Amino acid sequence: RDYLRHRASLLEHRAAHIQHMQKALQQMNVQLLQVLSDITGESGLAIIRAIVGGERDAHKLAALRDRRCKHSEEEIAKALTGHYRGEHLFALKQALALYDFYTAQVQECDAEIERQFSVLKPRGGGDLPPLDRRDKRDSHSKNAPSYDARGQLYRLTGVDLVAVTGLNASSVQTIIAEIGIDMSHWPSEKHFASWLGLAPHNDISGGKVLRSRTLKRCNRAGQAFRLAAQATIRSQSAFGAFYRRLRARLGPGQALVATAHKIARTVYHLLKHREPFQDMSAEEYEQRARQREIARLQKQARKLGLTLIQSPA
């Protein structure tokens, strides 16, 4: 847990120096952010290192772009036409040096975390199951662990939590570091969700609910579940359909917390019973929701002495 929290702080410090590089480029009127979505990618870092190295020719700098870059060399060269003043170049040089320093520190921290994983007692057996790439596209995140975090987590827990929609290796190892793998600390899924800060807190007086709200808590695992819920907003999965269904009725804020609550209950069940994750499509979820709605209406009609009749197509 301490190693992963330290790694997260290193990433926060590195992110600040990315902003410093962006500021130095803007002060020189070098509009690199207009043609590159990420200045710390292959094209961005190659151009920035060349600028720090003394290159000022915009066309030579644009030639360093990766072939997969969306914008052409002419567009990038036009964005690199600026005034390279000495004070801003000095700030850019130091920000790049600090970015490289923290990158090296993150890599060293990853090596130590991998060593700590290797000494933990494994609980999983067998080969790691294949991952469904339809909802698990490789994002090539620079903040992702450099080691095989998914394999280490499967060996530690005995269940592939990365297969859960919305979760990835980074978020899963954050969750496991905060909650552990022993679910007996929480008697039920409701207790687990309440500890995460994902369950509503009801103010009750005289048997009447006066106010219902989610308490603000500084819980790293709960924040990881919220980020996982945000990743499922547009997915064609059961979690995505659940979010869109609640958003129409409760709004985006409450729907996001409810989706995070649902993902947390799923993780609790997987860790407690050591069962593999079974994904459900959005179509199947909508069909089940429709069946539950029909059953509710039929029950209400029977109470009123009525009978539901399906209308013709």
The pLDDT averaged over each successive group of 10 residues in the chain (313 residues) is 95 96 94 90 93 92 89 90 92 96 96 91 73 62 87 90 92 94 92 91 82 81 94 91 93 93 95 89 90 93 90 78
CB atoms near residue 142 (< 10 Å): 13
- Phi then psi for residue 296, to 5 deg, are -65, -45
- Phi then psi for residue 25, to 5 deg, are -65, -40
How far is CA 16 from each of CA 5, 19, 68, 110, 177, rounded to the nearest angstrom?
17, 5, 27, 20, 25
pLDDT for res 53: 93
pLDDT for res 122: 82
Q: Are 156 and 118 in contact (CB under 8 A)?
A: no
**Greatest C-alpha distance within the chain:** 86
pLDDT for res 135: 58
Tokens linked to 126: 């067998």
Beta bridge partners of 281: 237
Rounded distance between C-alpha atoms, residue 169 and residue 159, angstroms: 13
Q: Are 128 and 150 in contact (CB under 8 A)?
A: yes
Rounded distance between C-alpha atoms, residue 77 and residue 35, angstroms: 10
Q: Which CB contacts under 8 angstroms, 24+ apart, belong to 116-125?
A: 116/3, 117/147, 117/152, 117/155, 117/156, 118/152, 120/156, 122/155, 122/156, 123/155, 123/156, 123/157, 123/158, 123/181, 124/154, 124/155, 124/156, 124/157, 124/158, 124/159, 125/158
pLDDT for res 301: 93
Q: Are 213 and 200 in contact (CB under 8 A)?
A: yes
Is 203 buried (19+), middle (13-18) or exposed (0-12) by CB count in 10 A? Answer: exposed
Rounded distance between C-alpha atoms, residue 181 and residue 44, angstroms: 40
Rounded distance between C-alpha atoms, residue 209 and residue 35, angstroms: 53
